[in-house]
Structure formats: C-alpha cells, structure tokens
Structure 1
Amino acid sequence: MRVTLCAATYNRPDGLGRLLAAVAALQLQEPVNLSVAVVIVDNSPDRNARAVVEAAATDFPWPLHYVSESRRGITFARNAALQKAAELSSDAVVFIDDDEYPDAGWLEALLRRQRISGAAVVLGAVRPVFPDGTPGWIISGRFFETHRFEDGAELDDAHTANVLIDLSSLHRHGLVFDNRYALTGGEDTMLFQALLDAGERIVYAADAVVFETVPQSRANLEWLMKRWYRTGNIEAALFLRGHEGSSWRPLGNCLRGLLRIAAGGGLFLASLLVLGLGRRERIVRPLYTVCRGVGILASTLGRNYSEYREIHGT
C-alpha cells in the first residue's frame, strides 16, 4: 500500500516545522508492502515554506516533496496535493493541517482502522492545545474540541484536519475539492457528503490523534462566532446542493435560519437570566445556534465568510 501524507501551508513556518518534526518521529510498524511519502503544498506566492521543507528533508525518514500552488485558496492547495499523490501512484492520501502535529501512533491507527473496515474514509480525533492565558471558559466550554465517537463508528461527516481517503474512491466518482469554496472553506464537507451520496463509508479511528495549536487570535468569542457563522454558511450550501434550480429551497433555508436564531436567542436570554455572568461557557453556548442561523440566512442571500483570507498563528 502506498500512502501519501499531505499538508497545505500558508505563512506558518513555525507550525510547519513542528508538524514535520512530529511526522518524522511517527512510530510505524511498516509491513513489507507499505510505502510512505510526505507532500507539503505551499500556498504562498512567495514560496516561503520551501526553506523549512528543504531543511527537514536532509534526514527525513521518508521521501519529502515540496509543491508550490500560488493560486490562493485551500481548495487549490488540497487539489494540488491530490494531484501529487496520484503522480506518486498512491493508494491513499492522509490530510493534516499545518497548525497541527500528530501523536506518535497516529498514522498506524488510521491505517489499522482502514484495513479492518475497508472504508473509503477514516477520520481521526483532533485535540486542542491552548496557549498560556487562554480564558478558562474557552477551555471548559470545549468549543475547540471535535466530537468523539466509539472506535470504528460509522459517521455521516468528516473533515480534512485528520483524515485518510482512499484515492480510488475519489477517482471512481470523479471527485476533487470544489474551488467555489477556496476562501470560505467547507470544501471538505462537500467532498465527504458526495462520497456518502455515492455509497462510500466513513469510519472513526479513536486512537488516531492529532493536536491542534490554538493561537490567541482564535481563543476568543469573536473568532468563535465567526466560525459558527461559517458553519451556517456551509449548512445552507449543503441544503441547496444539487437543488439550485428549486424555487422553494432558498425559502426553506431562510426559515431554517430564522428558527435557529429564535431558538438560540431564547436559550441565550434564558441562560443569561438564570446564570448571570457566572458560567460564561453555558451562556455563550446558545450563540452557536444563533450564529449558525445568521450564517444560513446570509449564505442564502449570497454573503459568506471567507475564513481563509485570514491567517492565524505562525
């Protein structure tokens, strides 16, 4: 089996160096038929990740490839990674982000779950690592934690922060990341939904853990509300997907958005009245529903949040 580990990067030299060091330290019981390669796609027109990759390549345990993709946007970078993996005749591609680093047993756990399940997609766990000075309510509220499931559970969604994808499944269904979501994100949600619609399976590998470094610029309510708003944008796009010509779908989206705003707003006011400001994480949580509703409405009217125009962390 030929596996290619891929990460897109944009002006995060510290994060990229940390990622490559952790990948080099992976503990992998390599069977005779396993071949591993690593691909870093630099999405900066300045190609400033090249020096980091070349420095790491001198004693890297596997082939390390640098790819430049100057067209700005996460979809262009990830499609460039898929293309390079295909050129390397890979059977599977594994995506991880440049602000993450893997546990030593990460790749082994993904591969083991794929061998057992035969699924087209295997999703791993993402755990946040917060900087000093992060507000306690951010940590206790678990706003940056991904959902956890039983090992081997079948899922109805996935993301590219920690995932293995069988390339033959993508090729069989003619799928790549949709460039309409280059700056907004949500392209991974669309891709995995298309795979599910085509009859493929997504399973969870509980032991395949990566750690996400959360910068101070994200560990705050303003950023959380932007992320939740974007979640609504993606939900609206999913609802309209494949039904763009339907006249009632946009109206349905608006109603869904309004219902979420009303429900979340009511819960927010109730929490504020009952709890005051004593349990901020409990008061903030209903704002997820409010922001998601606003995001649904805004996206239906053609206004989406371009998250990938901003860079967080180094």
Structure 2
Amino acid sequence: MYNIAICIPTYKRPYMLEKLIISIIESNFNQSFTNHVDLIIADNDIEKTAEKTVTELKERFNDRIEMEYYNFPVKGLSNVRNELLRKSLELSQDFIVFVDDDEYVSTEWLNELIEALISNNGDMAMGPVISVFDSAVSKYISCWFNRPVYRKNAKLNSIATNNLIIKRDSLIKNDVWFDNRFNYTGSEDSYFGVQMIQKGAKIYWAENAIVYETVPKNRANLKWLIQRRYRVSGTYTYIMNLEKKYFKILQKTLINMVYILVGICALIILPLPIKKKYWGILKITEGLGGLTGFFNTLYQEYK
C-alpha cells in the first residue's frame, strides 16, 4: 500500500476548490493501493481567500482525510507548484498527485492513476480532463475545448499537471523542479515534462482516471481561445529555444508561416454555420504566437 500526497494549488477560487475537495473525499480509495492520503492546499493569494473554505472542510471531514493548508503569497505558477513539491517531499509520500482547483474528480480517479503508474512501472501517469461548461455555450466554441485522448496505458511524450501522478523516487532521482521562467506565461508543466523525459522518465496514460474541468463563462468565448492559442504556441517555441532544438525550431517556424497563410485563406468560412468555422482565426493566432517564442516576448497570461 502507498502513501499519497494530493497537491492543489489555488488562487481566488474558493467555491470551485470546495467542490474539488469534496469530490476527492467522496471518491473511492482502494485499500489495496492506498495506505494514507494527505491533501495539501497551497493558497497563492496574499488575501488567503481559500483559508476559510479549507478550515470549514477540515472540521467537517476531520475523520475522513487529512488536509493541510498553506498560504504561499509568492505569486507564480512555478513558485506555488514547487512549494507543493517541497511540502510533499517533507511528508515522504510514495506518490505525488497534482490536480487543479477548477476541477472535480471521478469516483475511481485516484485508483486509476495509481494502477496506470504501477502496472507500467512508470515514473508518471496522466489522465483525461473533460471540460464542463457552467452556462450554455455555442457549439462553435465548445468544440475547441476537447483535449487529446490516447489508448489505455499509451506511453506519452508530454504532460500537464491538471491530472498527474508522480513517483516520489523518480522526482528525487531526476531532481527536476518547475522553472521560474514560466511563472506568468504558463507551460511550466510542459517544460517540467520535457526535463523529466530527458532524464529517462516514462509517462503513461491512465484512460479512466477522469477529472472534470469547470469552464466559466469568461473563458468560454473566442477572445479567451485566441489568447490561449497565442500563449501556448509561444511557450512551445520558447521551450525549443531553451533546449536548443534547432531543427524543431526551423520546423516550427515553417509551420507558423503556413498556419498564418492557410488561416487567412480559411477566413472565408467564418460567416458559414460550420462547426470549426473559427479554425482560420485560431491558426493565424497560433502562427503569430509561435513567432513570439523566438524573441522571448511571451504573453504573460497569469501576471
């Protein structure tokens, strides 16, 4: 049986955080897998907006699970994730799990993550994230929130920390942390994965370790999709620069130019009632965003 630390970074989302914590507590913990589970919540808000929520939940579920709340006001995605890693390592848990504060988990979520990790003798395992909208959304927008899925136990070449389990021994052996250069740009998890893979870490897909992401109204729109595509494309190029992957940089440059040209041509479908009618706009955005990574002029979405 294994000891597990579930790490939750949070920032000004107390109601979503409450939903997440309750979903974890009410999920199944297979006793053949889990010996002890700790929830570690790092509040990245100097105003401690999560403290009241966690305190109330600790009192309510004191006999069900251990919860530790920390206020960590040093703003930045990498900063808060590294703080969670430090707290987890202090507890000497076998596995470290990351899940985001705007999500909630399925009943067998943790069991499925653990099973994928140990059955493949992996260093990390990652599961699907399904978007759930909190208000009615046009099909022209909702279709862009679908994430890639893979066959069960597929070996992966990238990660995201919105549904991830890490073997503690692998983390210590490889000595990889989240890079502070991505504090405000995002993609700190992507670069973390790049570094782990370079050091030999193996990542597998946990097909049934499902979490659900709540998408609020202020994200379910074209403006947000444009900003996200622009930012992610830029950080991808920036990572290739950091890693001196010159062939991939050249390849990405050509792809960016093609995206811009093809995207302009595809604007002709914009007035039509076609499901992917925003394809052209988003490809132009992706192409332009990719070019920003060359000049280190990244969009700081989280500042």
The residue aligned with 1:285 is 279
| TM-score normalised by L of structure 2 | 0.93
How far apart, in 1, do the equivalents of 2:20 and 2:149 lie?
A: 23
SS for the counterpart of 1:307 is coil
Superposition deviation, residue 252 in structure 1: 7.7
The residue aligned with 1:44 is 45
Please say if residues 260 and 290 of structure 1, whose CA atoms lie closer than 8 Å, have aligned partners that are also in contact: no
How far apart, in 2, do the equivalents of 1:292 and 1:174 lie?
A: 32
SS for the counterpart of 2:189 is helix
Q: Which amino acid aligns with 1:14?
A: Y
The residue aligned with 1:204 is 205
Q: Which amino acid aligns with 1:52?
A: T
SS for the counterpart of 1:38 is strand
Superposition deviation, residue 286 in structure 1: 3.6
How far apart, in 2, do the equivalents of 1:183 and 1:227 lie?
A: 13
Q: Number of matched residues? A: 300
The residue aligned with 1:271 is 266
The residue aligned with 2:5 is 4
SS for the counterpart of 1:283 is coil
Superposition deviation, residue 134 in structure 1: 1.4
CA deviation vs aligned residue, 1:2-58 (integer Å, no higher than 9, x gap): 111111001111111111111111112212762111100000111121111011112
The residue aligned with 1:299 is 293
The residue aligned with 1:180 is 181
The residue aligned with 1:74 is 77
Please say if residues 128 and 211 of structure 2, whose CA atoms lie closer than 8 Å, have aligned partners that are also in contact: yes
SS for the counterpart of 1:133 is coil
How far apart, in 2, do the equivalents of 1:176 and 1:252 lie?
A: 24
Matched, 1:134 2:137: yes
How far apart, in 1, do the equivalents of 2:163 and 2:3 lie?
A: 18
Please say if residues 91 and 168 of structure 1, whose CA atoms lie closer than 8 Å, have aligned partners that are also in contact: yes
Please say if residues 256 and 296 of structure 1, whose CA atoms lie closer than 8 Å, have aligned partners that are also in contact: no
| TM-score normalised by L of structure 1 | 0.90
The residue aligned with 1:107 is 110
Superposition deviation, residue 241 in structure 1: 1.9
Distance 1:269 1:203, change over 3 A: same
Distance 1:256 1:286, change over 3 A: farther
SS for the counterpart of 1:75 is helix
Q: Which amino acid aligns with 2:96?
A: V
Give the % identical residues. Answer: 27
How far apart, in 1, do the equivalents of 2:181 and 2:66 lie?
A: 32
Distance 1:263 1:281, change over 3 A: farther
CA deviation vs aligned residue, 1:181-231 (integer Å, no higher than 9, x gap): 111111110111111111111100010000000011111111111111111
CA RMSD, 1 decimal: 1.9
SS for the counterpart of 1:83 is helix
The residue aligned with 2:254 is 259
How far apart, in 1, do the equivalents of 2:34 and 2:252 lie?
A: 50
Superposition deviation, residue 299 in structure 1: 2.3
Q: Which amino acid aligns with 2:162?
A: A
Q: Which moved more, 1:111-120 or 1:204-213?
A: 111-120
Structure 2: which 5+ runs fail to align? none
